[in-house]
């Protein structure tokens, strides 16, 4: 049976926060609904109210502020994929957003929803991780800022408390000279949840040595993280295939260390190595 | 009876499919769109246990639900609580025990869908779980729990010819492999729906999304204990069926509910319910041993097929027979041993699905052909050419093929693309490998070794217009258009000038099921028979009215003209008026049953089909050995359809067949108890589609209407094996299980990947 609830659409952020202050424990927040509608359809969604924040202008900016890129939580994947600012300073995120679901889903789904849902397969999370993203959370009583890696505690679990709302994310912009790559594996070419995904940023200095390398892999660890063991292998080295494979093996090792050997490991181990290799090759060996 | 002279261009013309514009405008009414005053909703309480006795059933709490109208169990069924297209082994509402998850336990009727669901949630059922079995081989062991009283064996089909054991012993090469395929969901666009009411003549009318209205009529009448003429089935516009809508899905439920509450009742399956409660494609396990000699000719095959029909038979026996009969593929094989054994399990029911087991068999026989080719040092194209059936060949069942054997022509038709693709296939990216695969198929048109006639009527009305009456359900494949084209050709009319009445049991007679790619050939012939009779009556009348020789007459655009004096003629309207005065009937019946014989139960020898369709596909793929992803770039698909009545429609079937075949090959897998809906079941999207190059080969079938055979199922059959062979070509390693998902492809490609890795790292 479908879930039953009352639907509210506040007209301002303060109204939304006041509502949450009162009803936070009984409320599910909807920003695009691409996950919530599934649980409402199956009846798994159990709440008294659904608060729709998707049309709050305060949650919809995309702008540079104090040297950081601020993206409102109700900005859709389609907007992130197309926006000149995201494409300029966070192209790996724009690319990832363009791979989410389908046109219809990208038109509805939002970055805030993607983060709050905290699926291990979320396409925007690895790019946000390589941008050292921080999540800005507001409530009627104040504001806090958390790194994404701390904000998500496990599959579908965050530290968002009743009464709180993600208002925006803050990203370090990609500096000039950096290269970027987003890669994903899925069971088909559209409308498919990522089997795993990788975001990478890399900078090579004048001597052809990797100066900075940031790598995050989705669906292989219970919480979003940067693959520092692999980053360390790459940094201060010249990009070459041997090093790429070495880094890729570090990632799969890390995956097994976190999650243990599971029935899916037979696939996921070579696949994550392959995908990391693909991202690194794309980063450093492809033209443009 | 033969046709006189007509002037028409109805055959071979890509006229617009009937109903296309209405569908594009959104005007078409599907069963779920129907709404009449006072309609109430029925929902089904389904088992959540795979095998259990119903110990207690307590609907008391449901009765207080606002809008509640009734909860019904098997005890409320007035007729015979048994149905099924071949074996009557299904209960509309189970009596004693459930045999699979999704089995119907009770029917709940309420004023609204919401009220019905609410009432349903309050029913208390106490089950006593029984041991369950989910593997067909295990189900056939003595220790297995018994699912049906008659035991767990559904059926067995043997095809035997020559001395296969001896021939294999003396073959130059022998290849033996085991192949498996998975449960597959039809995933038609329109989930099942229906509406039933009792009309002012006390007739139970059921509007439904169905492939088989005349069968529905019989089973619904039986369930309700009504004479058949008290039940009328009207097929509504149907958004795909692919075999699943051959079963009685909602028809029995809405019929029973309307009968019991005496109100109009509707029922619409959610996508989840369609996944849970309707038939699936049979998963097959195929052990296949083939032998060949150095000359490249097949010597023998020895095949064992194990099928899982789930909890009920549905079309399982048809799949058993068809899989066995088609096991040798479109090749001459002098020595044959095939045994197909199908068992009941506590899995969801498997039934008819586009191809009836042949897509699964083609995956096996076409993989075998490539393996043999490699052993013999022949190209995959060449080994197929050397073994292809031709006129004069005998099939595995001993049938001599005398005409319309276009397999060789389909191989010729794809040959240039095959050669080019093999030259072009260099990969442009590291670890991404290109592959080219070829696969062929044979498909018998119509039901296997049994009568499966069709009937039709063609009537000239007093207004001079011709109306076609056919019971053939058009479920999107275009039969209504094709049948009209056939009638038009026979009567010298433009297809647009013909009205049609389709798939309403009150106004049409049985055309048999829309299945087995049979409507163009079988119903087409019935229509042609009726139209030919009317044609001759029109000629006779016109000859009298024009005082002319019949041989000098020509039917054209609704009139009969003198060929020697084209200005002189008489219209169909004048003919109709005269005939009605003289009492001459102008509604004529046509009948056609293909020339088949039953198969010998011991040897499977006989003439299972009157004619066969043939096809060959070439698939070009790109395989990423880093991830296991496969991208199909192009499929070149040559089909011998006898004669394309409507070429665009044939092409449409080919496009859709490739889409479905691609899904079967790469991504479609239904896991009982796990897969719920399209959220976790992947069918190909537009983004997954390759370029499709359809090639129509026309080797006319002398017994077909204007030479036509069929293409509905053939369109799908070679795609998956062609992709499998292309993946094997790319990876130099083969996947023996469908679908070739990420996991299987990555595993198969691990050694080419390691080799490339080694090589690429050496440079540093």
* Pairing label, strands B153-161, B335-344: antiparallel
Interface test with B, best of A189, A193, A281 (most B CBs within 10 A): A189
Name the domain boundary from A33, A52, A71: A52
By Cβ distance, the residue of B114, B743, B761 closest to A242 is B761
For B147, residues 6+ apart whose C-beta sits below 8 A from its C-beta are B51, B99, B133, B139, B311, B344, B345, B346
Cβ neighbours of A275 in B, within 8 Å:
626-627
Considering the domain architecture, whether residues B571 and B630 belong to the same structural domain is answered as no
By Cβ distance, the residue of A188, A275, A277 closest to B684 is A188
The answer to whether residue B202 is domain-embedded is no
Is the CB of A274 less than 8 angstroms away from the CB of B757? no
Name the domain boundary from A138, A171, A204: A171
The answer to whether residue B550 is domain-embedded is yes
For B99, residues 6+ apart whose C-beta sits below 8 A from its C-beta are B50, B51, B147, B148, B311, B312, B344, B346
Q: How many domains does chain A have?
A: 3
What whole-number distance in Å separates Cα of residue B615 and Cα of residue B409? 9
Considering the domain architecture, whether residues A70 and A136 belong to the same structural domain is answered as yes
Considering the domain architecture, whether residues B615 and B751 belong to the same structural domain is answered as yes
Q: How far is CA B467 from CA B168, B457, B473, B511, in A?
A: 57, 8, 17, 16
What whole-number distance in Å separates Cα of residue B238 and Cα of residue B243? 12
- B580, B641, B636, B179: which is closest to B443 by C-alpha? B641
Cβ neighbours of B764 in A, within 8 Å:
240-242
Cβ neighbours of B114 in A, within 8 Å:
1
Considering the domain architecture, whether residues B327 and B385 belong to the same structural domain is answered as yes
Residue B9: CB atoms within 10 Å: 12
B390 in Cβ contact with B683 (< 8 Å): no
Considering the domain architecture, whether residues B615 and B667 belong to the same structural domain is answered as yes
- Contact with chain B for residue A20, Cβ under 8 A: no
The neighbouring-strand residues paired with B30 are: B237
Residue A288 has pLDDT above 70, yes or no: no
Cβ neighbours of B625 in A, within 8 Å:
274
Cβ neighbours of A38 in B, within 8 Å:
679
Considering the domain architecture, whether residues B474 and B537 belong to the same structural domain is answered as yes
| Cα–chain center distance at B329 | 18
The answer to whether residue B760 is domain-embedded is no
Q: How close does chain A come to B688, measured CA to CA in Å?
A: 6
Q: How far is CA B388 from CA B164, B328, B374, B448, in A?
A: 19, 11, 18, 22
By Cβ distance, the residue of B118, B679, B757 closest to A38 is B679
DSSP notation for B491-535: HT--GGGEEEEESBTTT------S-TT-IIIIIHHHHHHHHHHHH
The answer to whether residue B239 is domain-embedded is yes
What whole-number distance in Å separates Cα of residue B485 and Cα of residue B9? 9
- Contact with chain B for residue A240, Cβ under 8 A: yes
The neighbouring-strand residues paired with A105 are: none
- Contact with chain B for residue A280, Cβ under 8 A: no
For residue A103, give the chain B residue with the closest CA. Answer: B687
Q: How close does chain A come to B107, measured CA to CA in Å?
A: 16
* Phi-psi category of residue B500: left, alpha or beta, with phi > 0 → left and psi -120 to 50 → alpha: beta
Q: How close does chain B come to A231, measured CA to CA in Å?
A: 20
Name the domain boundary from B592, B618, B640: B592
The answer to whether residue B316 is domain-embedded is yes
The answer to whether residue A176 is domain-embedded is no
By Cβ distance, the residue of B685, B742, B763 closest to A189 is B685
Is the CB of B741 less than 8 angstroms away from the CB of A281? no
Q: Please give the interface size between A and B, counted as residue pairs whose CB atoms are below 8 Å apart.
A: 73
Considering the domain architecture, whether residues B97 and B244 belong to the same structural domain is answered as yes
The answer to whether residue A277 is domain-embedded is yes
The answer to whether residue A40 is domain-embedded is yes
According to DSSP, residue A285 is labeled T
For B509, residues 6+ apart whose C-beta sits below 8 A from its C-beta are B214, B455, B456, B457, B469, B471, B589
Max CA pair span of chain B: 98
For each successive 10 residues of chain B (764 residues), what is the average pLDDT?
74 95 95 95 98 98 98 98 95 98 98 97 98 98 97 98 98 98 97 98 98 97 98 97 97 98 98 97 98 98 98 97 98 98 98 98 98 98 98 98 98 98 88 97 97 98 97 97 98 97 98 97 98 97 96 96 94 96 95 98 98 98 98 98 98 98 98 95 97 98 98 98 98 98 98 93 66
What whole-number distance in Å separates Cα of residue A272 and Cα of residue B583? 81
Considering the domain architecture, whether residues B238 and B89 belong to the same structural domain is answered as yes
The beta-carbon contacts of B580-583 under 8 Å, at least 24 apart in sequence, are B580/B462
Residue B687: CB atoms within 10 Å: 12
What whole-number distance in Å separates Cα of residue B70 and Cα of residue B91? 19
The answer to whether residue A241 is domain-embedded is yes
Name the domain boundary from B565, B592, B619: B592
By Cβ distance, the residue of B121, B679, B688 closest to A1 is B121
Considering the domain architecture, whether residues B528 and B606 belong to the same structural domain is answered as no
Considering the domain architecture, whether residues A150 and A81 belong to the same structural domain is answered as yes
Residue B386: CB atoms within 10 Å: 17
> Is it true that the peptide bond before B739 is cis, omega within 30 degrees of 0?
yes
Is the CB of B430 less than 8 angstroms away from the CB of A267? no
Is the CB of A241 less than 8 angstroms away from the CB of B764? yes
The single residue listed with the structure tokens 């993280």 is A225
- Contact with chain B for residue A38, Cβ under 8 A: yes
- Contact with chain B for residue A192, Cβ under 8 A: yes
Considering the domain architecture, whether residues B478 and B535 belong to the same structural domain is answered as yes
Chain A, residues 107-166, CB within 8 A of chain B, namely: none
Q: How close does chain B come to A130, measured CA to CA in Å?
A: 22
* pLDDT score at A44: 94
Max CA pair span of chain A: 63
Residue B754: CB atoms within 10 Å: 12
The answer to whether residue A187 is domain-embedded is no
- Contact with chain B for residue A189, Cβ under 8 A: yes
The answer to whether residue B764 is domain-embedded is no
Q: Give the CATH number for residue B579.
A: 3.30.365.10
Percent of chain A with pLDDT over 90: 97
- Contact with chain B for residue A277, Cβ under 8 A: yes
Q: Which domain holds residue A237?
A: 195-284
B298 in Cβ contact with B174 (< 8 Å): no
Q: How close does chain B come to A70, measured CA to CA in Å?
A: 32
* pLDDT score at B763: 57
Is the CB of A274 less than 8 angstroms away from the CB of B760? no
Q: How close does chain B come to A199, measured CA to CA in Å?
A: 16
User: At B723, which helix (H) or strand (E)?
Assistant: helix B719-731
Is the CB of A267 less than 8 angstroms away from the CB of B626? no
Cβ neighbours of A189 in B, within 8 Å:
631, 685, 687-688
* pLDDT score at B3: 74
Considering the domain architecture, whether residues B125 and B232 belong to the same structural domain is answered as yes
Q: How close does chain A come to B33, measured CA to CA in Å?
A: 21
Considering the domain architecture, whether residues A47 and A65 belong to the same structural domain is answered as no
Considering the domain architecture, whether residues B633 and B748 belong to the same structural domain is answered as yes
Considering the domain architecture, whether residues A251 and A158 belong to the same structural domain is answered as no
Is the CB of B682 less than 8 angstroms away from the CB of A275? no
Considering the domain architecture, whether residues A131 and A66 belong to the same structural domain is answered as yes
Is the CB of B764 less than 8 angstroms away from the CB of A240? yes
The answer to whether residue B225 is domain-embedded is yes
For residue A34, give the chain B residue with the closest CA. Answer: B679
According to DSSP, residue B566 is labeled T
What whole-number distance in Å separates Cα of residue B429 and Cα of residue B624? 9
Q: Give the CATH number for residue B55.
A: 3.90.1170.50
User: What's the token pair of residue B339?
Assistant: 């045994």
Backbone angles phi, psi at B176, to 5 degrees: -130, 130
Q: Give the CATH number for residue A77.
A: 3.30.465.10
- Contact with chain B for residue A286, Cβ under 8 A: no
Is the CB of A278 less than 8 angstroms away from the CB of B431? yes
By Cβ distance, the residue of A190, A191, A275 closest to B627 is A275
Interface test with B, best of A185, A187, A287 (most B CBs within 10 A): A187
- Contact with chain B for residue A278, Cβ under 8 A: yes
Q: How many domains does chain B have?
A: 3
Is the CB of A274 less than 8 angstroms away from the CB of B682? no
Considering the domain architecture, whether residues B553 and B606 belong to the same structural domain is answered as no
End-to-end CA distance of chain A: 52
According to DSSP, residue A45 is labeled -
Q: Which domain holds residue B239?
A: 34-131+208-268
Interface test with A, best of B46, B119, B625, B627 (most A CBs within 10 A): B627
Is the CB of A270 less than 8 angstroms away from the CB of B684? no
The neighbouring-strand residues paired with B670 are: B183
Is the CB of A277 less than 8 angstroms away from the CB of B626? yes
For residue A273, give the chain B residue with the closest CA. Answer: B626
Is the CB of A188 less than 8 angstroms away from the CB of B682? yes
For residue B740, give the chain A residue with the closest CA. Answer: A187
Q: How close does chain A come to B621, measured CA to CA in Å?
A: 14
By Cβ distance, the residue of B628, B684, B761 closest to A241 is B761
């Amino acid at each position: 049976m479908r879930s039953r609830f009352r639907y509210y659409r506040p007209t301002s952020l303060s109204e939304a926060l006041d509502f949450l202050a009162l009803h936070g424990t009984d409320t599910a927040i909807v920003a695009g609904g691409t996950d919530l509608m599934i649980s409402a359809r199956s009846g798994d969604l159990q709440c008294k109210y659904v608060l729709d924040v998707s049309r709050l202008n305060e949650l919809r900016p995309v702008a540079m502020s104090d040297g950081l890129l601020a993206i409102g939580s109700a900005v859709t994947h389609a907007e992130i994929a197309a926006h000149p600012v995201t494409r300029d300073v966070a192209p790996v995120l724009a690319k990832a957003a363009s791979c989410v679901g389908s046109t219809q889903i990208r038109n509805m789904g939002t970055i805030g929803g993607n983060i709050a849902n905290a699926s291990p397969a979320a396409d925007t999370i690895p790019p946000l991780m390589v941008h050292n993203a921080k999540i800005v959370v507001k409530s009627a009583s104040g504001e806090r800022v958390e790194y994404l890696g701390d904000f998500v505690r496990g599959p579908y679990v965050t530290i968002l408390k009743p009464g709180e709302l993600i208002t925006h994310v803050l990203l370090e912009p990609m500096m000039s000279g950096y290269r970027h790559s987003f890669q994903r594996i899925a069971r088909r070419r559209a409308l498919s949840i990522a089997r795993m995904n990788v975001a990478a940023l890399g900078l090579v200095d004048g001597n052809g040595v990797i100066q900075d390398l940031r790598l995050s892999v989705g669906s292989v660890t219970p919480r979003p993280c940067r693959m520092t063991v692999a980053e360390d292998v790459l940094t201060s080295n010249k990009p070459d295939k041997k090093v790429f494979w070495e880094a890729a093996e570090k990632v799969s090792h890390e995956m097994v260390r976190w999650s243990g050997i599971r029935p899916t490991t037979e696939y996921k181990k070579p696949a994550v190595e392959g995908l990391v290799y693909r991202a690194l090759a794309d980063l450093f060996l492809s033209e443009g | 009876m033969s046709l006189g002279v007509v002037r028409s261009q109805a055959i071979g013309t890509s006229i617009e499919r009937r109903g296309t514009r209405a569908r594009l405008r959104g005007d078409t009414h599907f069963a779920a769109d129907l709404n009449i005053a006072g309609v109430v909703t029925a929902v089904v309480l389904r088992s959540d246990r795979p095998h259990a006795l119903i110990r207690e059933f307590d609907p008391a709490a449901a009765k207080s639900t606002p809008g509640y109208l009734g909860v019904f169990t098997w005890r409320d069924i007035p007729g015979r609580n048994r149905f099924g297209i071949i074996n009557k082994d299904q209960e509309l509402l189970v009596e004693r025990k459930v045999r699979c998850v999704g089995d119907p336990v009770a029917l709940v009727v309420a004023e609204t869908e919401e009220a019905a669901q609410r009432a349903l949630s309050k029913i208390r059922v106490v089950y006593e779980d029984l041991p369950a079995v989910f593997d067909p081989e295990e189900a056939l062991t003595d220790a297995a729990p018994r699912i049906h009283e008659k035991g767990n064996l559904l059926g067995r089909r043997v095809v035997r010819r020559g001395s296969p054991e001896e021939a294999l012993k003396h073959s130059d090469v022998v290849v033996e492999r085991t192949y498996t395929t998975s449960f597959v969901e039809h995933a038609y666009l329109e989930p099942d729906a229906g509406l039933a009411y009792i009309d002012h003549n006390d007739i139970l009318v059921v509007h439904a999304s169905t492939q088989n209205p005349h069968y529905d009529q019989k089973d619904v009448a039986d369930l309700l204990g009504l004479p058949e003429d008290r039940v009328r089935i009207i097929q509504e516009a149907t958004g795909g069926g692919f075999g699943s809508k051959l079963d009685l899905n909602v028809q029995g439920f809405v019929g029973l509910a309307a009968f019991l509450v005496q109100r109009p009742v509707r029922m619409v399956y959610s996508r989840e319910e369609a996944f849970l409660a309707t038939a699936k494609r049979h998963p097959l396990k195929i052990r296949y041993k083939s032998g060949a000699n150095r000359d490249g000719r097949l010597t023998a095959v020895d095949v064992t097929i194990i099928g899982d029909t789930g909890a009920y038979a549905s079309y399982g026996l048809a799949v058993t027979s068809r899989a066995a009969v088609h096991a040798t593929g479109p090749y001459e094989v002098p020595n044959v041993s095939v045994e197909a054994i199908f068992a009941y399990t506590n899995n969801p029911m498997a039934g008819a699905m586009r191809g009836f087991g042949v897509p699964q068999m083609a995956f096996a026989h076409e993989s075998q052909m490539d393996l043999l080719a490699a052993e013999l040092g022949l190209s995959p194209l060449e080994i197929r050419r050397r073994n292809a059936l031709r006129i004069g060949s005998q099939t595995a069942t001993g049938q001599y093929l005398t005409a319309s054997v276009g397999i060789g022509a389909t191989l010729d038709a794809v040959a240039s693309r095959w050669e080019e693709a093999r030259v072009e296939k260099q990969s442009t990216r590291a670890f991404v490998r290109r592959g080219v695969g070829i696969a062929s198929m044979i498909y018998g048109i119509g039901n296997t070794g049994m009568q499966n006639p069709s009937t039709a009527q063609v009537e000239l009305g007093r207004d001079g217009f011709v109306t076609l009456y056919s019971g053939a359900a058009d479920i999107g494949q275009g039969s209504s258009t094709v049948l009209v084209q056939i009638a038009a050709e026979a009567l010298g009319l433009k297809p647009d000038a013909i009205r049609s009445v389709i798939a309403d049991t009150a106004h049409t007679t049985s055309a048999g099921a829309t299945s087995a790619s049979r409507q163009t050939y079988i119903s087409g012939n019935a229509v042609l028979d009726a139209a030919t009779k009317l044609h001759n009556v029109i000629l006779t009348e016109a000859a009298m009215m024009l005082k002319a020789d019949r041989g000098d007459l020509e039917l054209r655009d609704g009139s009969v003209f003198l060929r020697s004096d084209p200005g002189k003629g008489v219209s169909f309207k004048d003919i109709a008026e005269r005939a009605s005065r003289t009492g001459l009937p102008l509604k004529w019946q046509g009948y056609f049953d293909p020339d088949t014989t039953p198969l010998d139960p011991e040897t499977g020898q006989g003439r299972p089909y009157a004619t066969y369709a043939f096809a060959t596909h070439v698939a070009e793929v790109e395989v990423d050995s880093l991830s296991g992803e496969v991208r199909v770039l192009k499929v070149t698909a040559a089909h011998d359809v006898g004669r394309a009545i409507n070429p665009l429609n044939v092409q449409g079937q080919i496009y859709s067949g490739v889409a479905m075949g691609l899904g079967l090959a790469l991504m479609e897998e239904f896991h009982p108890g796990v897969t719920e809906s399209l959220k976790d079941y992947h069918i190909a999207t537009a983004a997954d589609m390759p370029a499709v190059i359809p090639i129509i080969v026309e080797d006319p079938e002398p017994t077909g209407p204007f030479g036509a055979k069929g293409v509905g199922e053939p369109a799908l059959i070679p795609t998956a094996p062609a992709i499998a062979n292309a993946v094997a070509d790319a990876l130099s390693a083969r996947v023996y299980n469908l679908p070739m998902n990420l996991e299987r492809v990555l595993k198969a490609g691990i050694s080419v990947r390691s080799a490339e890795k080694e090589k690429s790292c050496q440079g540093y």
